[in-house]
Amino acid sequence: MNSFTEENYLKAIFHLSAEDGIVVSTNKISETINTTAASVTDMLKKLAEKKLISYIKYQGATLTQSGRQVAAAIVRKHRLWEVFLVDKLGFKWDEVHEIAEELEHINSEELINRLDHFLGLPSNDPHGDPIPDSQGNINQKKLLKVSKLIPGQQGSISGVSEHSSVFLQFLEKSGLTLGANLTIKDVMPFDGSVTLLINDLKEITISREVAKNILVMI
């Protein structure tokens, strides 16, 4: 088995390689996991030893088949637990991430499969992120940043790329919740702020920075 720490490294590499391409640098990992680069180097050697990553000195790391599977399993658990916390225990979507960071390390196949059924085999977590299946496959729909849209375009909010509590609370307060329908009214050339209509009801203007972190399906 892998330790909590090893699992967290694998998860970090998983998320970083999804975002940034394939090879993940020591420094990027050290930032996301909040350790020093020296510590990361130590761990990369160890994970390579265990054949969970391939690692070339001074180049970076990529997950192997088996490393990716381990990482996907952790992400699956994280997201299923988030669904549980929101759907069953009534937490808000901005309150569940930290708790899920702990729950994702609970080690029982049986548990997670029963939980999956108990929750009704959900395909997405409370933030719109797709839940990997038990084989680790992810079915990700193509999503667009609101900042990429032009006036007249429509879309429904299907995800966010920023998960901080303040950001999620802001969205909640503004009515920018998962599933909301957006129509782009105007994009200000000066700073890129976007004026849009939510569910054909409420007009709101958001900064480019906010627009970049809201993902819609067209």
In the complex, which residues of this chain contact DNA (CB under 7 A)? 3-6, 25-28, 34-46, 55, 57-60
In the complex with its own copies, the residue whose CB is nearer, 121 or 188, is 121
- The answer to whether the beta carbons of residues 96 and 85 sit under 8 Å apart is yes
# chain residues binding Mn ion, by CB under 5 A: 5
Give dist(CA 142, CA 70) in Å, integer: 24
Least separation in angstroms between residue 138's CB and Mn ion is 13
Candidate list 67, 125, 215, 216; residue touching Mn ion; CB under 5 A: 125
Least separation in angstroms between residue 10's CB and its own copies is 19
Residue 6 CB contacts under 8 Å (≥ 6 apart), including other chains: 43, 46, 47, 50, 52
Candidate list 81, 97, 149, 155; residue touching Mn ion; CB under 5 A: 97
The CA–CA distances, whole Å, from 104 to 27, 72, 80 equal 24, 11, 9
Least separation in angstroms between residue 73's CB and its own copies is 15
* Footprint on this chain of its own copies (rule: CB under 8 A): 85, 88-91, 95, 98-99, 102-103, 106-108, 110-111, 114-115, 118
Give dist(CA 65, CA 53) in Å, integer: 8
Give dist(CA 34, CA 29) in Å, integer: 8
Interacting residues toward Mn ion by CB under 5 A: 82, 97, 125, 127, 129
